[in-house]
A = this chain, B = another copy of it.
Amino acid sequence: MGTALNALKMLEYFSSSQPEIGLSHIARLAGLNKATALRHLRALEEFGLIEQNPQTKSYAIGPAALRLAALREIAKPGLDGARQKMQAAMHEVGESLHLTLLEKDTLQTALVVETTQHSVRVSLDPSEIIPVNATASGLCMLSFGPAFLLERLESDTLTRFTEATMTDPKIIRDRVAQIGQAGWANSNGSFEDGVFGYAAPIFGIDQIAIGTIAIAVPEIRATSARQPLILTSLHTLSKELTANFGGQTPETFPTEFHP
């Protein structure tokens, strides 16, 4: 499998900040001599996964990627793929899951998978708009999503849902900075009493969050003993759903979540 995989790995150096790369540069990035790099690029080019700009001579991802993406979407539509991954996690963790996506400028519920293992469980309204200040998903989105969400914090009216809801922009900004380091957010009854949430980002291709995945746990089961399992699942989901929606996790993102 060596050669094929080595050729494919050339594709990993392209990113939203580096959509075109020249031969010398990509050879250096891959730690290959130019002749080997060129051989790999030619194979990818022949298939259409790489395209050379005739003016600049540098390389970019080719049109075959679009055809493959369309086929992927037919085989496993984005939300179907996400639902499968959420169902697997639900069986593992035994809690309800909640996927939100940023639609225009509000965070909206896109998918809900409820646990089937407990009669006491968090039941989520699939039509809900998610308040950024009161939920783990919202705080996560403030930390990893587009900057405008954080910028308008002062001008928005922040609703208080429970005793625990944060409404002071300054306090929220402090929390957001911590979440940016940790990679995950939690909420302890700040939206609804007795409901604990754990959320992690789903990144888009530009490494900005397009949405979040959250695990919602009733207070009775939100014990510190169960946290490692929840956080491990959350980390895996963040990675898998980012891939599922064609995004890219930033290199600076934590490789594991710590309580």
Using CB atoms and an 8 Å cutoff, list the residues of chain A in contact with chain B. 1-9, 11, 14-16, 19-20, 39-40, 42-44, 46-49, 51, 60-76, 78, 81, 204-205, 243-248
Contact = CB atoms under 8 A, between A and B. Distances in A.
A85 to B, nearest CB: 10
21 contacts: A1-B40, A1-B42, A4-B6, A4-B8, A4-B44, A8-B49, A9-B47, A11-B47, A14-B75, A16-B70, A16-B71, A60-B71, A61-B68, A61-B71, A64-B243, A65-B69, A66-B69, A68-B69, A69-B69, A69-B246, A70-B247
A47 B204 CA distance: 18
**What DSSP secondary structure best describes chain A's contact surface?**
helix
Given A60-B71, A61-B68, 4 more contacts: A8-B44, A61-B75, A64-B243, A68-B68
Given A11-B68, A71-B15, A74-B205, A243 B63 contact: yes
User: Which 9 residue pairs are nearest across A and B when measured between Cβ atoms?
Assistant: A66-B246, A69-B69, A4-B7, A60-B75, A70-B205, A65-B68, A19-B75, A4-B43, A3-B3
Contacts of A51: 76
A137 B44 CA distance: 34
B8 A47 contact: yes
A248 B11 CA distance: 22
A165 to B, nearest CB: 36
Contacts of A70: 16, 69, 204-205, 246-247
Contact of A63 (B6, B20, B81): B81
Contacts of A44: 4, 8
